[in-house]
Copies of this chain bind each other. A is one copy, B any other.
Amino acid sequence: MFKHDIIIQKYGGTSVGSPERIKAVAQRVAQSAKLYKHVVVVVSAMGDTTDDLIGLAKTMSSSPSSREYDQLISTGENISASLLAIGLQEIGVPAISLTGPQAGVKTENIYSRAKILRVDTGRIKCELSEGQVVVVAGFQGATENGDVATIGRGGSDTSAVVLAAALGAEECEIYTDVDGVYTTDPRLISDATKLTEISYDEMLELASLGAKVLHPRSVECAKENQIILHVRSSFSQEEGTRVKEDSQMEIQRAVTGITLNQEEAKIAILKVPDQPGIAGKLFTRLADVNINVDMIIQSVEQDHINNITFTVNADDLAQAAAITQAVADELGAKGVVTDDNIAKLSIVGVGMISKAGIAAQMFEVLGAKGINIQLISTSEIKISCVIEKQFAKEALVLLHSAFELDQKIGSPS
């Protein structure tokens, strides 16, 4: 029987959340071992293990050193990796587990958010050539002196993509508890449809906008290395969504997906005298305390008098408002107003590059229902609007339908 060469699979914490689930994963991996010559599996820690380990660390110290913290929490992935290897052996599949350092994953010499520098694939290739399924502990690698370093958010997905690139795999399967990427959150709109494919850039916009399926970092890494990400459910056999470079000759529709973010808040400084460096001053102060600013709009109210409006995570509102007030006072601005009663709707699609009028259509759909748009920001493949929170769900339904996202591609419209 023809066998494909190699596949990389990544199973998240829910997929390996209990011995029973690990056994189910072993069965899936066993199937893949019949289809592929070589199978490499990357696993996250079981369910709450990482949180339990973090809890232990916090009991010992409110600020554990990042070196010891990594040494500690990396054991979570080691445990699930060896349990999966044992589960595979139990059903007759030769398998070996490797920690990140054993697998040759090399990181920068920093801890807790190290970047992966390279993979020395010797050990993995040796095990693969002996017919072993290789189970690698995700989220970790070794620093120069052999210490464990964890690689921060989106870690295990990124581990999997990096291994796919290093081993020359075309595709990396990301098994999770949802069955793919949808046109919008299916918990909000029941006729949201699953996408068969989505481009890296669209996925990046969606990921950044809050679709929690993939961390932007792993998508960037996949784009950089041209690895196809196949997001699918570990609880079903159905194909999921492939994240890849655009392959279609013509884009079929302008908008691929819509996201709704109701966790932001708006801050405005009113009537700021126009001096160079004002925005820099304000946003540096916010960055200093790790407050992420999302949308920023500066508008001229009259000659040399500006309004600056921006959004932050609602959790950061109080702190951000205090800092903004202090800066406003220094600048002689008229005042600061805040509003957490907002929602941000974003439409994303590479198709909007070649189709004019997508922004206009979005504004018209909202305007026709009397929904006022407070802020707008755009990129090549994304248009975001901030509206009043009470209209959020209605606006999402309107736009999802207006851009025909409730219809499967290829079905008669």
Name A residues whose Cβ lies closer than 8 Å to a Cβ of B: 19, 22-23, 53, 56-57, 59-61, 64-65, 67-69, 71-72, 75, 78-79, 81-83, 85-87, 89-90, 96-97, 99, 102, 123, 145-147
Whether B61 contacts A87 by the Cβ 8 Å rule is yes
Shortest distance from the beta carbon of A60 to any chain B beta carbon, whole Å: 4
Distance of A86 Cα from B146 Cα, bound (Å): 19
Whether A56 contacts B146 by the Cβ 8 Å rule is no
Query: Which chain B positions have C-beta within 8 A of A79?
Result: 53, 56, 72, 75
Distance of A79 Cα from B55 Cα, bound (Å): 12
Question: Quick one: closest B residue to A55, CB to CB?
Answer: B19
Query: Which chain B positions have C-beta within 8 A of A69?
Result: 82, 86
Work out how many copies of this chain go into the complex: 2
Given contacts A71-B78, A72-B79, contact A86 B57 (CB under 8 A): yes
Q: Is the interface of A mostly helix, strand, loop or mixed?
A: helix
Name the one of B60, B81, B82, B97 contacting A23, with C-beta atoms under 8 angstroms: B60
Distance of A53 Cα from B23 Cα, bound (Å): 16
Whether A19 contacts B60 by the Cβ 8 Å rule is yes
Name the one of B19, B71, B82 contacting A97, with C-beta atoms under 8 angstroms: B71
Name the one of B72, B89, B123, B145 contacting A68, with C-beta atoms under 8 angstroms: B89
Whether A60 contacts B96 by the Cβ 8 Å rule is no
Query: Which chain B positions have C-beta within 8 A of A90?
Result: 60-61, 64
Shortest distance from the beta carbon of A69 to any chain B beta carbon, whole Å: 8
Known: A57-B82, A60-B83, A68-B85; 18 extra A-B contacts, CB below 8 A, are A19-B56, A23-B60, A57-B83, A57-B86, A60-B90, A61-B89, A65-B85, A65-B86, A68-B82, A68-B89, A68-B96, A68-B97, A69-B86, A71-B78, A71-B85, A71-B97, A71-B99, A75-B78
Whether B102 contacts A86 by the Cβ 8 Å rule is no
Whether B78 contacts A96 by the Cβ 8 Å rule is no
Query: Which chain B positions have C-beta within 8 A of A53?
Result: 79
Whether A87 contacts B75 by the Cβ 8 Å rule is no
Shortest distance from the beta carbon of A307 to any chain B beta carbon, whole Å: 48
Shortest distance from the beta carbon of A253 to any chain B beta carbon, whole Å: 46
User: Can you report 9 A-B residue pairs in the complex whose CB atoms are below 8 A from each other?
Assistant: A19-B56, A53-B79, A60-B83, A60-B87, A64-B90, A65-B89, A71-B99, A75-B78, A102-B146
Distance of A147 Cα from B78 Cα, bound (Å): 12
Query: Which chain B positions have C-beta within 8 A of A96?
Result: 67-68
Residue picked from A23, A82, A123, most chain B C-beta under 10 Å: A82
Whether B64 contacts A89 by the Cβ 8 Å rule is yes
Distance of A22 Cα from B57 Cα, bound (Å): 11
Residue picked from A57, A72, A96, A97, most chain B C-beta under 10 Å: A72
Shortest distance from the beta carbon of A187 to any chain B beta carbon, whole Å: 33
Query: Which chain B positions have C-beta within 8 A of A99?
Result: 71
Distance of A19 Cα from B56 Cα, bound (Å): 7
The 9 A-B pairs with the shortest beta carbon distances in the complex, nearest first, are A72-B82, A61-B90, A19-B59, A75-B75, A71-B82, A60-B86, A64-B86, A60-B87, A68-B82
Distance of A19 Cα from B55 Cα, bound (Å): 10
Name the one of B22, B61, B65, B72 contacting A60, with C-beta atoms under 8 angstroms: B22
Residue picked from A19, A22, A69, A75, most chain B C-beta under 10 Å: A75
Distance of A19 Cα from B64 Cα, bound (Å): 14
Query: Which chain B positions have C-beta within 8 A of A57?
Result: 82-83, 86
Question: Quick one: closest B residue to A84, CB to CB?
Answer: B60
Distance of A77 Cα from B349 Cα, bound (Å): 50
